[in-house]
Every structure is written in structure tokens, then in C-alpha cells.
Chains A and B, each alone.
Chain A
Amino acid sequence: MQYLLMIYVNGAQMATMSADARQQMSEDYAAFTRDIVASGHFKGGERLQPQASATTVRVQNGKTLMTDGPFVETREQLAGYYVIEARDLDEAVSIAARIPNASSGAIEVRPIALMDEAQLRAYGRAS
């Protein structure tokens, strides 16, 4: 199965991190990512720009409306994600628990509804 691991962090806490702590965090992420690439669990993942850079889009009566900011304003903000391949939820949770921000923020683990071959073709995504 594939899982989306959403990394939620406290924005205020992140803003007050020292340069050293930032450097350490970055090294921890590099080490974690190398590990799950090597073990074959890694499918993808990126860090996101801060929540303040978000724009929310809606189409109403054919008009595109934009609002500044995220869809839901929360203290814990989505800071990045991984997509992983895991045997089951237990394995996904054990990987999520190793994400450096798991101890200061929270990781939401969401199973991905994978498409089968026919669906992939229908969506123009067949390889």
C-alpha cells in the first residue's frame, strides 16, 4: 500500500529556531530520507514553503476567486510530505514516527487510494 505522510509543525516554533537547530534539522531530514530511499519505502516527498505563501482558489459562477492564505488556518501547519510504500499501517506508522518533526509536531498518515491499470489508462497515466 501507499501512504501520504503529512508533516504538521508549529509555525511559531519553527520561526524561532536557531541557525544551529535549523542545520541539525536539515541533516536529520537528509539522513531519514536517505534511509527510506535505501530501504525502498520512499516514493516521493517535498518540503513546502510557509503557510503564509498559500493561495486558496475557488470557482464560483465561472469566476476564479482567490483568497490569501491556506484553506484552513491552523496553528499547526502543513510543512511537507512524503509518499511511501509500506506493507500495512503498522509499517507506515513506524516510518512516520522516524520523521524528525514527529517529536515536535505531528504526522498525519493517510492511505492513498491507488488506481488499477485500467483506471491509470483512463486517466492518461499508464506508463
Chain B
Amino acid sequence: MAAPPDSAAIEAVYRGEAGRVLATLIRLLGDFELAEEGAQDAFAAALERWPRDGISQNPRAWLVNVGRNRAIDRLRRRISLRGKLRLLAAEPPDAPQPAQSWGNDEDIPDDRLRLIFTCCHPALAMESRVALTLRVVCGLEIAQIARAFLIGETALAQRLVRAKAKIRDAGIPYEVPERAILGERLAGVLAVIYLVFTEGYAPTFGDEPVKPQLCEEAIHLARLLDALLPDEADVEGLLALMLLHAARLDGRAGADGELLLLEEQDRSRWNRARIEEGRRLVATALRRPAIPGPYAVQAAIAALHAEAADFAATDWRQIAGLYQVLLRLQPSPVVELNAAAALSMVEGPARALHLVDALAARGALAGYWPLAAARADLLRRLGRLEESRIAYGEAIALARFAPERRLLERRLGALGSISPSRSAPETASG
């Protein structure tokens, strides 16, 4: 026999299997809390047994069998404590048959897809869906989630307990939805994943300008979903979009940590492998027979930015066209603003300013600094420097993060030194 495995090797095996083991235990036991306790017990047992006997040939089957047996023991103790053995008979139909056990990892179906759909069920509040998915599907610690969403650990733990209780008591199914509602439910799952990503990419909580871990968790989730539910154009589109954005995260800040405009970024710092993967995925998504979804269209826009050799070589005409498609699919004031910025590179700043002013007059983006910054930029390009200064001042007053404010101050400072001319627009992220 080989040398006994150390705890690091055991932990690595466990980390690889934990998600699937927990998902299967939830199906077998019909109870999130009990399954989590069982999974923890199984890991503790592995740490005790495997250093002596070697890592099981079928670690997943071993962990599921041990986890289920320990959970049933817990259930029995709990029930006999209350003197209510009959409750065992009232457990869900799939429940505990300790005699049955798996020999091979391959015999155990992958239950993670149903786990994702249950955690993202629309009968749960959005913040519960996000917290539950990160905790149960991604295996993040409560402290990590609490930090990312600026919520107390106790409050978050209570929210998770309430969400699990609702799943159990309200009969939220532990199933992949049937075809008739799959599309709608899948859209809900993708919304949760994208919310995790955007909180990482452009945080709305806390002082960090970026939370890369959330971006990585979202990409990991989308990859898992794409593997479990292949050939779904919307999943491919969202994964592509996140890869293409994340690929450029490293280029967004300069050596001194300052935010850089798209035109100022060192494109050699972009992650080529991710850009290539994103481009391939977006092409696949767009070739599928269904009408392209908003994620795929946004990914196509991101791909055009990512593949341009430099800022001047950007295919603005196609980007402006894609924004028109996106406006029809998913009309929103933010999309209108981006569409106007793209249009300014094709038709010039005058027409774009007209659109942006009309948007501002509607008041839908009141308090949104990128609107003021876009106006400032268009005014600058039209040579209306005094108005541009005022608009930059408004944007600075509205910006929440120091790096954003410094970027805007830098642009405001540069106004004094430039003469009115046709130059590039300022998009910090593309």
C-alpha cells in the first residue's frame, strides 16, 4: 500500500467532492440542515479513517454512505429523545434506508443541478437565493458571504436557516423544473449568478473597488451550469460575458492602482485565454436557433472590445448596432446611455449628447454618476469646456468610490490643457 495520505490530500479530495456529496445527501435525506450535518460528519470520519486505511477508491460513494448513515443516526437520536419514533415514518418518501449503499462513485447521479434550481427558487427572496447558492452550491463560508454583502454573520446565518426552513415547510421541490417552466426558472438562476458577478465586478456594498472572489465564484457557477445543462444559449452567453469582463479586470487599474479608461489600458495585461474562451462561447451561443438573449448580445459587445488590437481599432459601428439589438431585448436607461456612448463614436458627439440630455430629462438615471460623466465627455468633445467642467463636477459629487472620483478629477484636470477636438469617449470599463 502507498504511503498514508496526509490531511491536505484528504482535504483536496473532500473539496473536489463536497458539492456533489452534499447535493446527493439533500436528495436522500430531504432536509438541508440534516444533510449539511451529515456531510460534516462524513468529512470528520474521513479525516479519522483515511490516514490509516488510505483514501477510499470511491471517495464520493464512501462519503455519501457515511454521511447518510450518520445523518440517520442523528435523526434517530433526535426522534427517540422526543419519544416520537413514529416521526420516522412521516419522513419524505426518498428517506433513509441505511441498508442500501453505493459501491461506485459513477453510480451516484449528479444532484447539483437540482440543488442550483432549488437554491434559486423564485419563492425565496433574492438575497436568500444569493446567500444560499454561495453557501450550499459554492461552499463559501458564512463569514466570506457576510463580508461580501456587508451583512452581519449572525443575520446571514439566520437568513440561511429561514431559507432552508421555507424550502422544507413550503415544499419547494428539489428537482430540475419541467420543460414548460425551465426557461423561466433558468433565467432566474442566471440572474442570481450575474448578480454575484456584478457585485464582484462593480461592488455596491463596501469599500473595495473590485471583489475578484465573487467574479470567480460566478464564473465557476456558470461553468458548472453549462456542464450540467449543456447547449443552453443563455448559459453560454452569460458565461462568455463574465469571462470577457473578468479577462479585462487586471487592466482596469494602472501601476499606481488608479482606474484607467478603456483607451488608456495596457491591453497586454488582459487575459488572452479567457478572451478566447469567451469569444468561442459567444459564437456558439449566437449560432443556436433561438433568438439571442441579452447576455449573449452583451457578450458580443464585450468580445468586440476585447478583440480590438487597440482603442482606435474598435469596431464601433458593430457595437452601436448590437446596442440597438440589446435595447429591443432589454430596454433600460443604462443600456440607452451605453448605446448613446457607442453611437457617439459612429455619428459624432452632437447626436449622442442630444440622446443623453433627453435621457437625463426623464430623470430615470438621477444620481447615476456615469450619466454625468458621459455628458461631460460629450461636451468636452464638442468643445463646450465650461459645461463639461460643470458636468464633471456633478459626476465627482455622485461617485461613491475614491478611485472613480480620482479618475473623474484627472479628466477634469486634463480639460484645462486640451484644445477642443474630436477625441475618444471615456468609458472606464467598456
Contacts and interface: CB of A to CB of B under 8 A. Distances in A.
Given A90-B177, A90-B181, A116 B90 contact: yes
Contacts of A86: 171
Contacts of A117: 86
B360 interface: no
B172 A118 contact: no
Interface in B63-122: 86-87, 89-90, 121
B171 A88 contact: yes
Contact of B86 (A1, A87, A109, A118): A118
Interface string A34-48: 000000000000000
Given A88-B171, A88-B172, A93 B123 contact: yes
- In this complex, the interface size class of chain A, counting residues with CB under 8 Å from chain B, is 10 to 19
A90 B173 contact: yes
Interface string A83-115: 000111110110000000000000001010100
B171 A89 contact: yes
A87 B171 CA distance: 8
A92 B86 contact: no
Nearest to B89: A116
B170 interface: yes
Contacts of A3: 171
B152 to A, nearest CB: 29
- In this complex, the interface size class of chain B, counting residues with CB under 8 Å from chain A, is 10 to 19
B141 interface: no
Contacts, number: 32
Interface in B167-193: 169-173, 175, 177, 181
Interface in B342-400: none
Contacts of B89: 116
Interface string A1-20: 10100000000000000000
Nearest to B172: A89
Interface centre among A1, A87, A89, A116 (most CB of B within 10 A): A89
B187 to A, nearest CB: 16
Contact of B173 (A89, A113, A116, A118): A89
Contacts of A113: 169
B90 A89 contact: no
B179 to A, nearest CB: 13
Contacts of A118: 86
A86 B123 CA distance: 16
A1 B171 contact: yes
Contacts of B87: 116
Contacts of B86: 116-118
Nearest to A109: B170
B90 A111 contact: no
Contacts of B181: 90
B123 A111 contact: no
Nearest to A118: B86
Interface in A69-95: 86-90, 92-93
Contact of B170 (A87, A89, A116): A89
A3 B171 CA distance: 10
A79 B178 CA distance: 32
Contacts of B169: 111, 113
Contacts of A88: 171-173, 175
B247 to A, nearest CB: 38
Interface in B385-428: none
A90 to B, nearest CB: 5
Nearest to A90: B173
B186 to A, nearest CB: 14
A16 to B, nearest CB: 33
A111 B173 CA distance: 13
A88 B177 CA distance: 12
B177 A111 contact: no
A100 B86 CA distance: 41
Interface of B: 86-87, 89-90, 121, 123, 169-173, 175, 177, 181
16 contacts: A87-B171, A87-B173, A88-B172, A88-B173, A89-B121, A89-B123, A89-B171, A89-B173, A90-B172, A90-B181, A92-B171, A111-B169, A111-B171, A116-B89, A116-B90, A118-B86
Given A87-B171, A92-B171, 9 more contacts: A86-B171, A88-B172, A89-B121, A89-B170, A89-B171, A89-B172, A90-B177, A109-B170, A116-B87
